[in-house]
Amino acid sequence: MAHFSIIIPLYNKARYVSRTIESVLGQTFADFELIVIDNGSTDGSGEIVAGFNDSRLTIRRLEENIGVSGARNFGVSLSRTPFISFLDADDWWEPTFLEEMVKLTEHYPHAGIYGSAYWIVKKGKKKPAPVGVDKDFSEGIINYCQVYAKTLCMPLTSISVVLPRGVFLESNGFPTDIELGEDFMLWLRIALKHEVAFLNKPLSNYNQDVASDSQGSHKKRYNPDTFMTFHLDTFKDEEERNPSLKVLLDRIRVYNLMNFRTQNLFPERVQQEISKVDFSHVEPIYKFYYQYPYWIVKPFCTVRRLLSAIKQKILT
């Protein structure tokens, strides 16, 4: 039996998937199975994957798209290994990702999830994601809520984690009713019950140069029913008991709902979420954004966006 099952959900990523697959098959730790779930692709992505000749690779093709969460969960149901990892079809790993993560699982055998730092790739340039751990932190157990709240940069992502298969199953996998932030909901559910081990070394690449037609759709980003920020009451009981979680969720609420606020989208639902925020947990500017009338907030934000665009143009 292999040590890792690597699950890749695939939907119309023909331009990127070869590099993704190569980054897995080229790992220095080779004891794994790779399961690709072709989630109804129409651009030949599945054929590209099928062209790889490696006994560790299995591709399952679905007639209809069941969503990224459904595809990941289905992939896990096909797996039989002690540890699960995920990779998106437009991202890629550094060659030693699995090797380093094996060491992390050995150093912290009681953790429920393992993560590493990662690179953000934009306009062909790589920079380390500003995860909120101290610069001199190398590896160890982290307080997930405190680390995430510090910079609001995800310390755990769907391309940089390993978790015991049993923990994944007991946590009921990825929520299929959420299309934006579904991974955060699962990681948080696990982090509230288990230790989180973290390696502060970038070992995966989060590709932000993906063509816009293959990124999350506008409807996903602005649909309250499937956007995770409108589902944080899932953790209501824990939020009342856990101060670190309360700070994190308050910061997520004010940050993630800014696009809704500045465009006056679903104002009643936004206000319902914002009414739960303790504003002592967030920067003072957010009190202005959410507590002043919209007709004052809108021009202020318009000017700020204009100045930011001018600044970026000057810097580039």
> For residue 54, which amino acid is it?
D
pLDDT surpassing 80 at residue 126: yes
**Interval 283-311 mean pLDDT:** 86
CATH number at residue 135: 3.90.550.10
- Burial track 229-259 (b if 16+ CB lie within 10 A, e otherwise): bbbbeebeebbeeeeebbbbbbbbbbebbee
Q: Tell me the whole-structure pTM to 2 decimals.
A: 0.91
Torsion angle defined by CA atoms of residues 245, 249, 252 and 257, in that order, rounded to the nearest 10 degrees:
180
pLDDT band at residue 306 under the 50/70/90 scheme = confident
Question: Strand 83-86 relative to strand 161-164: parallel, antiparallel, unpaired?
Answer: antiparallel
Give residue 220's pLDDT: 60
The percent of residues above 70 in pLDDT, for the chain, comes to 95
Whether residue 198 sits in one domain with residue 223: no
Residues 199, 71, single domain; the answer is yes
Q: Both 248 and 276 in a single domain?
A: yes
Q: Are residues 97 and 243 located together in one domain of the fold? A: no
Q: How many domains does the chain have?
A: 2
Please compute the mean of the pLDDT values over residues 265-273 and round it to a whole number.
Answer: 95
Q: What is the mean pLDDT of residues 106-117?
A: 98
Is the CB of residue 229 less than 8 Å from the CB of residue 251?
no
284 Cβ contact list (under 8 Å, min separation 6): none
Whether 79 and 225 map to the same domain: the answer is no
Domain that includes residue 246, residue range: 218-315
Block residue for tokens 């679905």: 62
Structural contact between residues 53 and 165, judged by C-beta atoms closer than 8 angstroms: no
Q: Which of 165, 194, 212 is the last residue of a domain?
A: 212
User: Which of 212, 243, 267 is at the close of a domain?
Assistant: 212
152: left (phi over 0), alpha (psi -120 to 50) or beta: left
Label residue 1 by pLDDT band (50, 70, 90).
low
State mean pLDDT over 82-90. Answer: 97
pLDDT for 214: 42
pLDDT value at position 148? 98
Average pLDDT over the chain, rounded to an integer = 93
pLDDT given for residue 215 in this prediction: 43
Same-domain pairing of 70 and 189: yes
Query: Do 194 and 247 reside in the same domain of the chain?
Result: no
Return the HEC string of the chain.
Answer: CCCEEEEEEECCCCCCHHHHHHHHHCCCCCCEEEEEEECCCCCCHHHHHHCCCCCCEEEEECCCCCHHHHHHHHHHHHCCCCEEEECCCCCEECCCHHHHHHHHHHHCCCCCEEEECCEEEECCEEEECCCCCCCCCCEEEECHHHHHHHHCCCCCCCCCEEEEHHHHHHCCCCCCCCCECHHHHHHHHHHCCCCEEEECCCCEEEECCCCHHHCCCHHHHCCCCCEHHHHHHHHHHHHHHCHHHHHHHHHHHHHHCHHHHHCCCCHHHHHHHHCCCCHHHCCCHHHHHHHCCHHHHHHHHHHHHHHHHHHHHHHC
Q: Are 175 and 79 in the same domain?
A: yes
CA dist 175 and 160 (Å) reads: 19
**152 and 255 co-located in one domain:** no
Report whether 69 contacts 175 (CB < 8 A). yes
Give the residue from 121, 146, 110 showing the smallest Cα distance to 131. 146
Q: What sign does the dihedral 181-183-185-191 (CA atoms) show? A: negative
Verify that 187 and 281 share a domain, yes or no. Answer: no
Q: Is the pLDDT assigned to residue 251 strictly greater than 80?
A: yes
**Residue at 102: amino acid letter:** V
User: Which of 178, 212, 246 corresponds to the end of one domain?
Assistant: 212
Same domain, 140 and 21: yes
Counting Cα atoms < 13 Å in the Cβ hemisphere of 198 gives 25
pLDDT of residue 303: 83
Domain match, 205 and 233 both: no
Lowest-confidence range among 69-83, 170-184, 217-231?
Answer: 217-231
